[in-house]
Amino acid sequence: MNTVLKGIITPIVTPFNDDESINVPELRRQVERQISAGIHGLFPCGTNGEGYILNGEEKRLVLETVLEAAAGRVPVYAGTGCVSTRETIRQCQMARDAGTDVLSIVTPSFGAASQDELYEHYLAIARAVPDMPIVLYNIPARTGNALLPATVARLAGIDNIVGVKDSSGDFANILAYIDGGRAKENSAFSVLSGNDQLIIWTLLAGGRGGVAGCANVFPKTMASIYHLFIAGRIEEAKAVNESIASFRACFKYGNPNTIVKTAVAMLGFPVGRCRAPFNRVPQEGMNALRKALEECRAKGLE
């Protein structure tokens, strides 16, 4: 419960072998690569980690591997959200027992949930793991369910719900989350941007950082946004934040996490493809991605 939520957290990719089994040695390598680059946290089994398509045992393997490789050097945020409250609690308990620092719980998907149902879902989870800090995760384009600011403000009143990650891409929503979380004692509620291009603006508005998929590709560059912000070098931080725009423009060619993992592979790391069927990038996208990576590396991004 004493973990400080801040900085740039990498939703680390899950490397696969050709048969779609988990490439454990490469996962360890990616953990070391991220920490060496100065990243402030690791988030396995999130969207970029393809948590939505891993089974329970695979999630355990990924999480235990990341925890062992990180060895306490940075906090580990485990993606434990499932469709049902029951299975989410089971995954949260597994992650707690493995030694996870923070739980990140995405909203349920497929079924349309009311705000009261979402509140009761998170309340039940918080009560089941009262010793674990919980970060809410809003990504309505993927789940079909949005956590409204009023619901987030209500959930912030629960002791072990300590923050929210917003991947809606709506900066007004982030601002509303920040305002709603201010009611929590000692400013203990943290708002994290799940949209890479909004990280510096979230920090300037009072947020604590971001969960940045692009950090899988450019960990040192992404981590520097927070370092520059803390140092008061705001214009430089803004410039770095903007420097990833050409890479993010490639997201239109497929799932953003598919583009990110493909880019990591293009850099020479054997992370494999995303698990089928979410693993296609059209040739036009591959060409654009190669060009963007060349441009970014020419600008010094790493």
| pLDDT one-digit tens code per residue, 209-234 | 999 999 999 999 999 999 999 999 99
Cite the beta strand spans of the chain per DSSP E: 7-10, 41-42, 77-79, 102-106, 134-138, 161-166, 190-193, 209-211
Whole-number pLDDT of residue 188:
77
- Alpha helix (H) residue ranges in 12-158: 24-36, 56-70, 85-98, 115-128, 140-143, 149-155
Output the pLDDT for position 1.
62
Dihedral sign for Cα atoms in the order 160, 138, 69, 97: positive
Structure tokens at 158: 């629960």
Per-residue model confidence as pLDDT tens digits over 241-262: 999 999 999 999 999 999 999 9
- Cα–Cα distance between 30 and 216 in angstroms, integer? 8
The predicted structure's pLDDT at residue 226? 98
Given a cut of 70, whether residue 285 has pLDDT beyond it is yes
Does the pTM surpass 0.75? The reply is yes
Whether the per-residue pLDDT at 183 is higher than 90: the answer is no
Helix (H, G, I), strand (E, B) or coil at 59: helix
- CA dist., res. 298 & res. 286, Å (int): 18
The 10s digit of each residue's pLDDT in 33-86 is 999 999 999 999 999 999 999 999 999 999 999 999 999 999 999 999 999 999
Q: Does domain 7-242 have CATH number 3.20.20.70?
A: yes
Amino acid at 225: I
Q: Report the pLDDT value the prediction gives residue 185, as an integer from 0 to 100.
A: 62
**pLDDT, tens only, 9-19:** 999 999 999 99
**Which amino acid is located at 226 in the chain?**
Y
Q: How large a percentage of the chain has pLDDT more than 90?
A: 95
Amino acid 4: pLDDT: 83
pLDDT over 60 (residue 186)? no
Contacts of 69 (CB under 8 A, 6+ apart): 27, 28, 31, 32
pLDDT tens digits, one per residue of 105-144 = 999 999 999 999 999 999 999 999 999 999 999 999 999 9
| pLDDT at residue 3, as a whole number | 81
Write down the pLDDT at residue 180.
87
Active site amino acids: 137, 165
